[in-house]
């Protein structure tokens, strides 16, 4: 049966190559990617809401609910068990995985990612995990694009484009935000924008958003009605809010990385579950708004118009009925949200930081404006407007994507009348955080390893290059105990002017340069007097076979060498890398990379 299917697929591929132009077939694939990602987003949202409503429908609004201590632990336990026993692969950090696939796996994403993140994240979030569903669905969409392209034997550049189509369709489908899906892909994932790549991305985003409209209605994800138009007198306060959002973004990013580092040191999954589960359950018990994605809280702060409505955010908690504690309660949520999100993923759950970013931004904007109004500032700041702007600010800071922040919030809420302040707060948040954190929460892990593909084309091409592809092994190896006569024989057999010197076990000890022995190599009376160990020199530096190419080029620049030896982690000689080889490979890759 499998052979029949493969044979049929090969016949179709042959027919397609003969009858359908590749650029037209890419448009067909981008449409299919949009359809499949929209369906995946719909299934994920349905599963999350079904689980969440089933578990929490009977909760009391006027007091504490002890099941908050149980559900999150059960959720991350089940999700962790599913990942370890069924998936048997790490599926966390979805967007980071996509960036890694683009940079180091030729845009190939494992097949199980088309469904595994949906199941794991729906269990995690449905049972109360304090993370978002967007990063898992973006990974799912990109995996759909990658595997669909692989199925039809598309080349590397097309696979990269289809990965982007999947991400665009996922964001557009889950948020009903086609422009945000397109901008997110260009700003966070893609390397370069050409007219050839723009149309497929647009088709995937529009297709996914249209299907979402058909299945869930045409209303924006969050209902928002502009009660007070923006006035120029509020611009200083919008800038101040942007700076606050930048600080919140920096706190969220750095604290999450530190906590994840602590979880990584825990030896077994059950220790991680115990620590993460206890921390998450206690935080959700004290602050029920931390349960799940937190979109109910966002809806409340965007639409509430009075203190009585805003106070309902403290329902189900020990703070119920204490109206004067509202700002303190929300400030504590801002403080502890990062711990809840980190505990969810660190304990074994699966989720992303899209929703936490929106959540923190909404609360930060509300707290800022409500506090300013409480101390009688000369200009009234509408809480709902500033809550909306805060969402754009924190998202821009955390993701290092100001355009995504602006367009996503505008499309999520229909708040297009606030486009100017949304842009101001996004830029005000993005510029300060760039000083302290040059990489987003998605890319900083890869940037440390030199595996990050960036919008800087030179660096992107260097990232795509691998040292093993430029190592040359046609150098004649000599040994320290050989005499000058043996060295001359080696020279006669080589067309190189550099000779690596190794011991009996293959350890690199030094090099011999032809120029250094040219004045004695023809004096036969010296052939048995000089040993290689006497006239060999140390290499200017060594390259390791695991080093990224950007580091390799930095060593060439520092040493001004034309050839450098390559060794493995144990110091064993593997070959040489030459500048000319790197330049030739770079030129070929750049031409291929830039073709439309």
For residues 227 and 74, which has the higher predicted lDDT (pLDDT)? 74
Query: What pLDDT score was predicted for residue 422?
Result: 93
Do 516 and 452 share a domain, yes or no? no
- CATH at residue 508: 3.10.580.10
Given a cut of 50, whether residue 454 has pLDDT beyond it is no
* Helices and strands of the chain, counted as H and E runs: 25, 5
Do 47 and 114 share a domain, yes or no? yes
Do 466 and 440 share a domain, yes or no? no
Is residue 210 one of the residues assigned to a domain? Answer: yes
Do 351 and 300 share a domain, yes or no? yes
Three-point CA angle 468, 469, 472, nearest 5°: 80
Query: What pLDDT score was predicted for residue 100?
Result: 78
User: Domain residues for 27?
Assistant: 2-216
Query: What pLDDT score was predicted for residue 596?
Result: 43
**Count of the separate structural domains present in the chain:** 3
What's the average model confidence in pLDDT over 458-477?
Answer: 74
Q: Among residues 393, 425, 457, which one ends one of the domains?
A: 457
Is residue 397 one of the residues assigned to a domain? Answer: yes
Is residue 344 one of the residues assigned to a domain? Answer: yes
CA-based nearest residue to 142, from 158, 124, 165, 111: 165
- CATH at residue 327: 1.10.3080.10
Given a cut of 90, whether residue 379 has pLDDT beyond it is no
Q: Among residues 186, 216, 246, which one ends one of the domains?
A: 216
Compute the distance between CA of residue 253 and CA of residue 399 in angstroms, rounded to an integer: 9
For a pLDDT cut of 70, what percent of the chain falls above it?
Answer: 91
Do 403 and 507 share a domain, yes or no? no
Query: What pLDDT score was predicted for residue 470?
Result: 85
Is residue 63 one of the residues assigned to a domain? Answer: yes
The answer to whether 494 and 514 have CB atoms below 8 angstroms apart is no
Is residue 226 one of the residues assigned to a domain? Answer: no
Do 450 and 466 share a domain, yes or no? no
Main-chain dihedrals φ then ψ at residue 563, nearest 5 degrees: -135, 140
Do 439 and 468 share a domain, yes or no? no
Task: State which of 224-233, 287-296, 318-327 shows the largest mean pLDDT.
Answer: 287-296
CA-based nearest residue to 298, from 217, 408, 401: 408
Do 159 and 267 share a domain, yes or no? no
Do 453 and 466 share a domain, yes or no? no
């Amino acid at each position: 049966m499998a052979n029949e299917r493969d044979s049929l697929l090969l016949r179709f591929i042959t027919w397609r190559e003969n009858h359908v132009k590749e650029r037209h077939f890419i448009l067909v694939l981008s449409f299919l990617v949009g359809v499949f990602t929209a369906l995946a987003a719909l299934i994920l949202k349905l599963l999350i809401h079904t689980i969440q409503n089933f578990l929490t429908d009977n909760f009391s609004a006027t007091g504490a609910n002890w099941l908050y201590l149980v559900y999150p632990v059960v959720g991350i336990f089940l999700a962790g068990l599913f990942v370890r026993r069924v998936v048997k692969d790490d599926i966390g950090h979805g967007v980071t995985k996509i960036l890694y696939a683009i940079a180091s796996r030729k845009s190939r994403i494992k097949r199980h990612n088309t469904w595994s993140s949906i199941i794991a994240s729906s269990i995690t979030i449905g049972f109360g995990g304090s993370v978002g569903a967007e990063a898992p669905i973006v990974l799912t969409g990109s995996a759909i694009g990658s595997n669909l392209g692989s199925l039809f034997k598309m080349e590397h550049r097309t696979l990269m484009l289809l990965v982007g189509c999947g991400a665009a369709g996922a964001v557009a489908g889950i948020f009903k935000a086609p422009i945000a899906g397109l901008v997110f892909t260009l700003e966070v994932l893609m390397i370069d924008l050409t007219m050839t790549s723009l149309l497929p991305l647009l088709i995937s985003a529009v297709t996914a958003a249209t299907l979402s409209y058909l299945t869930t209605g045409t209303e924006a994800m969050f209902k928002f009605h502009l009660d007070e138009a923006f006035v120029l007198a509020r611009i200083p306060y919008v800038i101040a809010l942007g700076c606050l959002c930048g600080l919140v973004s920096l706190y969220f990013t750095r604290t999450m990385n530190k906590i994840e580092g602590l979880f990584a040191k825990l030896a077994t999954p059950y220790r991680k579950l115990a620590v993460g589960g206890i921390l998450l359950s206690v935080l959700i018990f004290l602050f029920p708004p931390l349960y799940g994605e937190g979109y109910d809280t966002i809806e409340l702060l965007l639409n509430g118009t009075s203190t009585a409505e805003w106070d309902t955010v403290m329902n189900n908690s020990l703070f119920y009925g204490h109206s004067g504690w509202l700002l303190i309660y929300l400030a504590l949520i801002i403080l502890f949200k990062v711990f809840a999100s980190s505990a969810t993923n660190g304990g074994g759950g699966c989720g992303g930081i899209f929703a936490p970013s929106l959540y923190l931004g909404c609360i930060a904007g509300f707290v800022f404006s409500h506090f300013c109004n409480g101390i009688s500032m000369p200009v009234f700041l509408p809480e709902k407007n500033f809550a909306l702007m805060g969402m754009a600010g924190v998202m821009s800071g955390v993701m290092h994507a100001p355009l995504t922040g602006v367009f996503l919030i505008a499309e999520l809420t229909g708040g297009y009348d606030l486009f100017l302040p949304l842009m101001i707060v996004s830029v005000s948040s993005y510029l300060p955080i760039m000083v302290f954190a040059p990489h987003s929460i998605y890319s900083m892990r890869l940037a440390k390893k030199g595996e990050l593909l960036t919008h800087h084309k030179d660096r992107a091409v260097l990232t795509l290059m691998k040292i093993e592809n430029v190592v040359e092994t046609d150098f004649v190896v000599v040994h320290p105990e050989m005499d000058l006569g043996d060295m001359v024989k080696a020279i006669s057999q080589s067309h190189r002017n550099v000779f690596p010197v190794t011991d009996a076990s293959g350890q690199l000890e030094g090099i011999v340069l032809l120029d250094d022995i040219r004045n004695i190599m023809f004096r036969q009376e010296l052939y048995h007097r000089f040993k290689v160990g006497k006239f060999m020199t140390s290499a200017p530096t060594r390259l390791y076979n695991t080093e990224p190419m950007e580091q390799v080029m930095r060593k060439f620049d520092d040493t001004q060498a034309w050839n450098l030896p390559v060794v493995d982690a144990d110091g064993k000689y593997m070959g040489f890398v030459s500048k000319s080889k790197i330049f030739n490979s770079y030129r070929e890759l750049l031409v291929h990379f830039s073709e439309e």
